[in-house]
Chains A and B, each alone.
Chain A
Amino acid sequence: MTTAGMRVWSLAQNLTANLVGNETAWLVGGQKTTTRTVTTTMTRLFSSSAVADADKTEEEMPEHMMSTIVNGKEIWVPKGSSVMQACDAAGVDVPRFCYHPKLSVAGNCRMCLVDLENHMGMSPKPVASCAMPLAPGTTIHTDTDRVKKAREGVMEFLLLNHPLDCPICDQGGECDLQDQAMHYGSDRGRFVGTKRSVVDKNLGPLVKTVMTRCIHCTRCVRYATEVAGVQDLGVTGRGGASEIGTYVEKLMESEMSGNVIDLCPVGALTSKPYAFTARQWELKPTESIDVSDALGCNIRVDTRGTEVLRILPRNNEGVNEDWISDKARFQYDGLQRQRLNVPMVKENGALKPAKWEEALFAIKEAVGGLKGDEMKAIAGKLVDCESLVALKDLMNRLGCENLSVESVTAGMEADVRSSYVFNSSISGIDEADCIVLVGSNPRVEAPVLNARIRKANYEAVQVGVVGAPVDLTFQTHHLGDSVAALKDLAKGKGSAFAETFKKAKRPLVIVGPGVLQREDRDVLLSEIHNFVDKAGVVTDEWNGFNVLHDAAARVGALDVGFVPSLGEKPSDKPAKFVYLLGADDFDAKEIPEGAFVVYQGHHGDAGANVADVILPGAAFTEKSGLYVNSEGRVQMARRAVSTLAESRDDWKIVRAVSEVLGATLPYDTIQGVRERLVEIAPHFGKVDSAPEKPVWLNGQYFGAHAQKVKGKKALDKVPLQTPITNFYMTDVISRASRAMAKATQARQAASTAKQ
């Protein structure tokens, strides 16, 4: 049968299968999902010219593709695909336990058996499709009796030693083994005797283990070795006695250890804080954005009623692939603690609960008669762009230009976007051929990004570190403690790494918060600019100058211009009125003695301690808000639960304050605020889409910056290092979290034990 004939035949054969599988698969080779809607396909099928139509779409197969037939349907897949990938492309479901697209292929669960057929006939025995490269001229059958029987056999073996404790297992309801046993399992077993029992391992306070449930897929071992970079997990023993573990009891010292919970196809590795909390079908999922670091990892917030019960990653190849950090995953219990849920006003030195009116009029009283340059606003790490722009507009209306985002960006320029974002984009790391980190420890600043750099490193991309030596879970070249080391690097001499860097076509420089949060930042940046110019980090096709931030709100704040306006300077007068928008990590000296402090936020932390008035805001799970990640990608955090008690959406609070202060803001709805955002920066209109490359000013900005810092000197003696001392506690939510406190303790205990 000819190709066209085959297609027509299959069109006629199975209408419904065509709607999902055939059309999709051979058009795009299964790598991307189809954009064709069901309706158009239906029209095509029911039109009288279905046959002619099929002929019309007959097109030349691209060079990099090959064709194969899965269960009678022809599909195109890229050359070098595995049999399983071809089945996936055809929309044919192949059961699996050990295969994971982001990990190496192990081929040890044997669940994905299929039959292959070529000119020699049927394969002598079923083949593990995940580990079998697709050869030309091979036909795949997944629906033969032999395949069914083989898979049933494998399932029976897997269930031999698997305990029947589904009712008390946290994986119940979302368990691969449970689901697939519904298809391939028997309702009775032939096994008599005692089931294997395995000692549970203690991997720390985040991951719970019930090792008897383990089916030895080794996904966790491969994840720990390949992605997380902590070579602690392994398979010990042999045969029926083999088990997954660390051999010596030890903490899994990874910032991304929680991902093994998602990877585990059974209930052997589950979440400790979530244990025995809820069943998957009770939970309401909300797609959202993580704010624990500046990467903007895509997450799913699972809630029941008013409580966030767990956070899981969502796949986004451009940002976090399939992973999130432990902080993103486990800090949610902090959302229940230390919350500010009613407005408060200070009376006789003590904060007392008040009504909204009282709080707002207390602010009016404090502001009354103050000039703009006697005021100040500081925004925190977790603030959404809507409230940032609202507060900026309000302060500007009051004639105030003293705007900053915690200590870091005081004096940082927001005029040129390419000077403060991750220009090459996060997925650009995959294309880089040499990476230099300046004052950055991505392992604590953005663990998922670190995993991406590790992946690049695994593919022989060398990584150099300027700053205090750090353990990034992979091999790095320590180039020096200060930016002076960059001078040698620019020359391309002095070390093997320098030579590699010189040869690199797509070099990547990552400037971390270790540089941005120093007093001599501008001088250091100027030296880095020099280096970037000399070393050719930026070309027409490639922009390798990247800035990595450590707080979710930072790029958003710079994008909306939460800095003194162009041409304006922050006043030197000590402020008499300070507005803290979720700011808790400010420098104590930023709040002058006797100033009237308003704290708007959701957690009682450092900010609330110094406040005269507290306005209870919403946490990121309780409001819809835009966040801009390090690479400038605008993403939306969505409301998963309602706000607590008296607290309100942050932009609404600012709007209310503006009205009381007589400087009413011109927007009443969130759409209005977002229109204002788009007015300031058009990219706010493109939510969830890949960031556009920021305009590069060909070093003009560098020149202007150099002029500015002329004559200033760097503090050479202090080595560059990340400002984060404890990965697990960096913002108000994680500081209030019990899980994060336990993780901190466990990590400290492990490091003392090492010494």
Chain B
Amino acid sequence: MVRGVVLRVAKAAGRALGRGTGLTVAPAEGGQKVVGPQAFGALNWSKGYATNSHDHFNIHRNSPENNDETPFEFTAENDKIVKEILARYPENYKRSGVIPLLTLAQTQNKGFLTLSAMNKVAEILETPAIRVYEVATFYTMFNRSKMGKYHLMVCGTTPCMVRGAVKIKDALCEHLGLKDYGESTADGMFTLSEMECMGCCVNAPMIAVADYTKGVEGFTYNYHEDITTKDAINIVEHLRRGEAPKVGSQHRETCEPAGVVYEDQWVPKPEGYTTLTGEPRGPYCRDLKKEAAEQKS
């Protein structure tokens, strides 16, 4: 019944949009109509898309920790890795190595790419610097301004959102004293960001943590799944103390049907399976072996 009403409202909204009268009417709670840009006021148009990065500009702005004079050199150990990366590509297609090299530079440089780091990569690849800037600004996993020691990324795509990503964000913001995504804590420990789907929807909601404290060698990028607000804060506190929080699902082995996070609570599975209990309906996969045998005979 409720679903039917929602559908009807949605259809009405669709019609209003489709009419293209210039004044768009979007439905709001309580049957009131909200006219014009207010309907979209909640959306963050300045960014236009979710990003794990807290870079607001796609141009360079000098800052104390990232300016023309900030030095950058690959360490001797990482130089070996650079050579290894370059060896993967033909000499005249060196430029293909731009992403792995930028990643290496970012991890070495405590989580973000300075101008000089990008210039260094351009120098190694013998390509104009702008071609490296283009790549670094395109991919949201490259950061171009100072990061916290740990980069907390909350998945904000539909399944996680449905399972309580917003609550997790709010809890983390409150716990860390931040206002929104894209900010870092005053002590420089954490940067909080939103991220697009990380592909473990079955264990929603989840956060990923990039650990920049241990350099290239000890760099980790871990998923923490099936989290409640309590778990999230627990993970952050573990990290603050320098301990290793539990990686993967917080409440089950992997993704076996053991339960679900519901209303910020881990709810173990009810008695027996509730879905997919019968035989799967067809059409089934072809039995290729059998077909081959039949063809032979």
Residue in contact with A247 in the complex, picked from B20, B60, B140, CB distance below 8 Å: B60
Q: Is the CB of B48 within 8 A of A199?
A: no
How far apart sit A441 and B45, CA to CA, in the bound complex (Å)?
A: 49
Q: Is the Cβ of B131 less than 8 Å from the Cβ of A234?
A: yes
The binding surface of chain B is classed by DSSP as loop
B268 contacts the other chain (CB 8 A) = no
Does B40 contact A199, Cβ atoms closer than 8 Å? no
Q: Does B17 contact A (CB under 8 A)?
A: yes
Residues of B within 8 Å of A245, CB to CB, are 58-59
B22 contacts which chain A residues (CB < 8 A)?
Answer: 188-190
Closest to B140 in A: A238
Binary contact readout A205-241 vs B (1 if CB under 8 angstroms, 0 otherwise)? 0000000000000000000000000011111111111
Q: By the criterion CB–CB under 8 Å, are A238 and B130 in contact?
A: no
Which chain B residues lie closer than 8 Å to A31 at the CB level?
A: none
Residue pair B130, A239 in contact (C-beta under 8 Å)? no
- Give A201 to B58 CA distance when docked, in angstroms: 12
Given contacts A231-B128, A234-B130, A236-B133, contact A192 B59 (CB under 8 A): no
Contacts of B59 in A (CB 8 A): 199, 201, 236, 243, 245, 247-249
Candidate in B21, B39, B129 with the most chain A CB atoms within 10 angstroms: B129
Judged by a CB distance under 8 angstroms, whether A193 is at the interface is yes
Given A192-B24, A241-B49, A236–B58 Cβ distance below 8 Å? Answer: yes
CB-based nearest A residue for B118 = A247
A232 touching B39 by the CB < 8 A rule?
Answer: no
- B21 → chain A, closest Cβ, in Å? 8
Given contacts A192-B39, A247-B60, contact A233 B137 (CB under 8 A): no
Q: Compute how far the CA of A383 lies from the CA of B280 in the bound complex, rounded to whole angstroms.
A: 91
Cβ contacts A469-504/B at 8 Å (1 or 0 each):
000000000000000000000000000000000000
A248 touching B115, Cβ below 8 Å: yes
Q: How far is the CA of A241 from the CA of B138 in the complex (A)?
A: 10
Interface residue A517 (Cβ < 8 Å from any Cβ of B): no
Please pick, from B24, B115, B133, B139, the residue contacting A190 in the complex, using a CB distance under 8 A: B24
A193 adjacent to B45 (CB under 8 Å)? yes
Tell me if A242 is interfacial: C-beta within 8 Å of chain B.
yes
> Do residues B131 and A231 form an inter-chain contact, with CB atoms below 8 A?
yes
Decide yes or no whether B36 CB sits under 8 A from chain A.
Answer: yes
Within 8 A of B (CB), among A235-294: 235-243, 245-249
Contacting residues of chain B (77-132) with chain A, CB-CB under 8 angstroms: 115, 128-131
Task: Count A-B pairs with CB separation below 8 Å.
Answer: 80
**Residues from 137 to 182 in B contacting A, C-beta threshold 8 Å:** 137-140
Whether B47 contacts A235 by the Cβ 8 Å rule is no
**Known contacts A236-B58, A245-B59, A248-B115; is A192 also within 8 Å of B134 by CB?**
no
Please determine whether B37 and A235 come into contact, CB atoms closer than 8 angstroms.
no
In the complex, B57 has a CB within 8 A of chain A: yes
Task: Check A79 for interface membership: any CB of B closer than 8 A.
Answer: no
Encode contact with A along B1-41: 1 for CB under 8 Å, 0 otherwise.
Answer: 00000000000000001001110100000000000110110
Q: Which residue in chain B gives the minimum CB-CB distance to A197?
A: B46
Q: If A188-B22, A192-B36, A194-B45 touch, does A234 touch B133 (CB 8 Å cutoff)?
A: yes
**Whole-angstrom distance from the CB of B128 to the nearest CB of chain A?**
3
A234 in contact with B134 (CB, 8 Å): yes
Q: Does A196 contact B (CB under 8 A)?
A: yes
B293 at the interface (CB under 8 A from A): no
Cross-chain contact B37 with A194 (CB below 8 angstroms): yes
Q: Which residue of A lies closest to B48 (CB)?
A: A240
Against B, the Cβ 8 Å flags (1 = close, 0 = not) of A171-198 are 0000000000000001011101110100
Establish whether residues B48 and A196, one from each chain, have CB atoms under 8 Å apart when the complex forms. Answer: yes
B43 within 8 A of A: yes
CA–CA, A201 and B61, complex, Å:
12
Evaluate whether A247 and B17 lie within 8 angstroms (CB atoms) in the complex, with A199-B59, A240-B48 already known.
Answer: no
Q: What is the 8 Å Cβ interface bit string for chain B, positions 253-295, against chain A (1 contact, 0 not)?
A: 0000000000000000000000000000000000000000000
Residue pair A242, B49 in contact (C-beta under 8 Å): no
A240: nearest chain-B partner, CB-CB? B48
Q: Is A247 a contact of B137 with CB atoms below 8 Å?
A: yes
Docked CA distance A241–B45 (Å): 10
Say whether B40 contacts A243, CB under 8 Å: no
CB-CB under 8 A from A231, the residues of chain B are 128, 130-131
- Contact status of A242 and B130, CB under 8 A, knowing A190-B17, A237-B138: no
Q: Closest residue of chain A to B41, judged by CB?
A: A193
Query: Which residues from B are CB-within-8-Å of A190?
Result: 17, 20, 22, 24
- Least Cβ distance of A266 to chain B in Å? 19
Distance in Å: Cβ of A193 to nearest Cβ of chain B: 5
CA distance A233 to B130 in the complex (A): 7
- With A and B bound together, what is the CA distance between A247 and B133 in angstroms? 7
Instruction: Choose among A196, A201, A232, A236 the residue that contacts B137 (Cβ–Cβ < 8 A).
Output: A236
| B131 lies within 8 A of A243 (CB) | no
When distances are taken between beta carbons in the complex, the residues of chain B under 8 Å from A241 are: 47-49, 58
Whether A247 pairs with B45 at a CB distance below 8 angstroms is no
CA distance A193 to B43 in the complex (A): 9
Residues of A with C-beta under 8 A to B131: 231, 234
Known: A188-B22, A190-B20, A247-B137. A239 touches B48 (CB 8 A): yes
B69: min CB distance to chain A, Å:
12
Chain A residues contacting B60 (CB-CB under 8 Å) are: 247-249
CB distance from B162 to the nearest CB of A (A): 24
Point out the residues of chain A lying under 8 angstroms from B138, CB to CB: 236-238, 242
Nearest Cβ on chain B to A211's Cβ, whole angstroms:
10
- Specify which of B36, B59, B131, B134 lies most central, judged by the most chain A CB atoms within 10 Å of its CB: B59
Complex: A541 Cα to B126 Cα, angstroms: 40
**CB within 8 Å for A192 and B37 given contacts A236-B134, A238-B137, A241-B58:** yes
**Is the pair B45, A235 in contact by a Cβ cutoff of 8 Å?**
no
User: Taking the nearest CB of chain A, how far is it from the CB of B5, in angstroms?
Assistant: 25
Q: How far is the CA of A235 from the CA of B136 in the complex (A)?
A: 11
Give the shortest distance, in Å, between A298 (CB) and chain B (any CB): 31
- Chain B residues with Cβ below 8 Å from A189 are 22
Task: Report the bound CA distance from A197 to B94 in whole Å.
Answer: 35
Query: CA separation between A158 and B105, bound complex, in Å?
Result: 37
Q: Which residue of B lies closest to A230 (CB)?
A: B128
Whether A242 contacts B133 in the complex (CB less than 8 A), given A190-B24, A193-B45, A194-B45, comes out as: no
B137 touches A188 (CB 8 A): no
Residue of A196, A242, A248 most packed against chain B (CB within 10 A): A248
Q: In the complex, what residue of chain B is closest to A201 when comparing beta carbons? A: B59
Q: Given the known A-B contacts A193-B45, A194-B45, A236-B134, are A199 and B20 also in contact in the complex, defined by CB atoms under 8 Å?
A: no
- Residues of A close to B43: CB separation below 8 A: 193
Could you tell me the distance between the alpha carbons of A621 and B129 in the complex, rounded to whole angstroms? 42
Assembled-state Cα–Cα distance A708/B49 (Å):
76
> Which residue of the partner chain B has the closest CB to A244?
B58
Q: Report if A246-B40 is in contact (Cβ < 8 Å); known contacts: A190-B20, A193-B45.
A: no
Task: Choose from B40, B48, B49, B58 the contact partner of A192 (Cβ within 8 Å).
Answer: B40
**When each residue 616-660 of chain A gets 1 if its CB lies under 8 Å from chain B and 0 otherwise, what string results?**
000000000000000000000000000000000000000000000
A188 to B37, CA, bound (A): 16
In the assembled complex, which residues on chain B have CB atoms less than 8 Å from the CB atom of A192? 24, 36-37, 39-40
Q: Which of B181-207 contact A (CB under 8 A)?
A: none
Q: Give B19's nearest chain A residue, CB to CB.
A: A190
The answer on a CB contact under 8 Å between A240 and B49 is: yes
Q: What is the CB-to-nearest-CB distance from B177 to chain A, in angstroms, rounded to a whole number?
A: 28
CB distance from A618 to the nearest CB of B (A): 45
Tell me which of A188, A235, A249 contacts B134 (CB under 8 A): A235
**Inter-subunit contact B130/A232 (CB<8 Å):** yes
Return the 4 tightest CB-CB contacts between A and B, nearest first. Answer: A231-B128, A237-B58, A247-B133, A240-B48
- B→A interface (CB under 8 Å): 17, 20-22, 24, 36-37, 39-40, 43, 45, 47-49, 57-60, 115, 128-131, 133-134, 137-140
14 A-B pairs within 8 Å (CB atoms) are namely A190-B17, A190-B24, A192-B36, A192-B39, A193-B40, A196-B48, A231-B128, A231-B131, A232-B128, A235-B134, A237-B138, A238-B138, A240-B48, A247-B133
Q: Apart from A239-B48, A248-B60, list 9 A-B contacts with CB within 8 A.
A: A186-B20, A194-B37, A194-B45, A231-B130, A232-B130, A237-B58, A238-B140, A247-B134, A249-B60
